[in-house]
Structure 1
Amino acid sequence: MNAYRTAAPHRPAEDPDRIFDGRRVVHCPDCHWAQGLNKDLHLGPWALLYWHRSHPADAVDHLAEMPDRLAIPAYVEWGWQAHWLAINDTRTEEGFVLLGTEDLEVFRSVSADGGLDQAVLANTRRRSVFPSAARAEIEAAASDLFRTGLLRPAPGL
């Protein structure tokens, strides 16, 4: 067993017995890397598993509690089309996918200062709802993005 760990210290795998928020889970038993699969961006687990083997130092437990400050990982390309978030997870080479307006508000807010306050304000104005309702929607969108590896803890956390 020691010879195998020396040759291949990270053995990421899909966990068929583990579902998190209705998503299949990939993780590495040799470190703390774990995340849920997004059905549109991660059509299967293999690209993510190979990516983790090549980048073991970039290990984040995306199933842990979401931190207050977030950052957009270098492997995520994003932009917008009308009021939609256009996003590409370069780890999987599936191409760009359009996500909702709340997701775009989250990405704009996180890219500005790492927090969600700007997204809550934008969502409150856009939908003409109470800030508490807007915050709940934004936090749910940010949690979904975090769980699937499209956001990460901000540096220094």
Structure 2
Amino acid sequence: MTAYRAAAPHRPVPDYDRRFDGQPVVHCPDCHWAQALDRYLHEGPWALIYWHADHPDDAVDHLAAPPDRLAVPAYVEWWASGHWLAIEDKRTEGSGVLFGTECLEIFRSVSAHGGLERAVVANTHRRRIFPSTARANIEDAAASLFRTGLLRPAPGLQ
């Protein structure tokens, strides 16, 4: 059975019964790939479904708990646009989307060393809040980015 599953084509599907942040989930019943859609970035499930069918080896369960160390996937292009994070997901044909300063801090931190510490410190200083509050805000934002496929486990954690 395992040999059949490895050789069989992947048939990802949208799952409108499962939702994350009000958005449907796409998943593959032939492996563990799953993620939530971002209503502005992904513009529907079909581009992601076709992408996964073409890249079955790049399967991450984005609905699982995010790991401690994260990475920016190769299919995500990002840059700072003032104090905003601009993202373009190359898996879809949609246009780029702007995210807030916390997300920019997360991407800078993850790109530097895979962790969220740098983002927590930056958020603490920028907002003049307690480190525990800054950490909770950063972890919530990072979890949302992870669940929509914009972050992934750092290499070696998959």
TM-score by length of 2: 0.93
> Are 1:78 and 2:43 an aligned pair?
no
Distance 2:39 2:114 in 1: 26
Q: Which residue of 2 aligns with 1:124?
A: 124
Query: How much has 1:57 moved relative to structure 2?
Result: 0.2
Distance 1:38 1:7 in 2: 30
Q: Which residue of 2 aligns with 1:146?
A: 146
Distance 1:10 1:105 in 2: 35
Distance 2:78 2:6 in 1: 37
Distance 1:6 1:38 in 2: 29
Distance 1:93 1:102 in 2: 25
Q: Which residue of 2 aligns with 1:37?
A: 37
1:92-129 superposed Cα distances (whole Å, 9 cap, x missing partner): 02121110000000000000000000000000000000
Q: Which runs of 4+ in 1 moved over 6 A?
A: none
Distance 2:60 2:7 in 1: 22
Equivalent AA in structure 2 for residue 26 of structure 1: V
Query: How much has 1:18 moved relative to structure 2?
Result: 1.0
1:51-97 superposed Cα distances (whole Å, 9 cap, x missing partner): 00000000000000110000000000000111000000000021211
> Where do 5+ consecutive residues of structure 1 fail to align?
none
Distance 1:146 1:7 in 2: 28
Distance 1:65 1:22 in 2: 18
Distance 1:102 1:38 in 2: 17
> Do the aligned partners of residues 6 and 80 (structure 1) sit closer, same or farther apart at CA in structure 2, a change above 3 Å counting?
closer
CA RMSD of aligned residues (A): 1.4
Query: How much has 1:9 moved relative to structure 2?
Result: 1.4
Identical counterparts, % of pairs: 72
> Are 1:14 and 2:14 an aligned pair?
yes
Instruction: Say how many residue pairs are matched.
Output: 153
Query: How much has 1:20 moved relative to structure 2?
Result: 2.5
> Where do 5+ consecutive residues of structure 2 fail to align?
none
Query: How much has 1:7 moved relative to structure 2?
Result: 8.5
Query: How much has 1:6 moved relative to structure 2?
Result: 9.1
> Do the aligned partners of residues 116 and 11 (structure 1) sit closer, same or farther apart at CA in structure 2, a change above 3 Å counting?
same
Distance 1:23 1:133 in 2: 26
Distance 1:27 1:105 in 2: 29
Query: How much has 1:21 moved relative to structure 2?
Result: 3.5
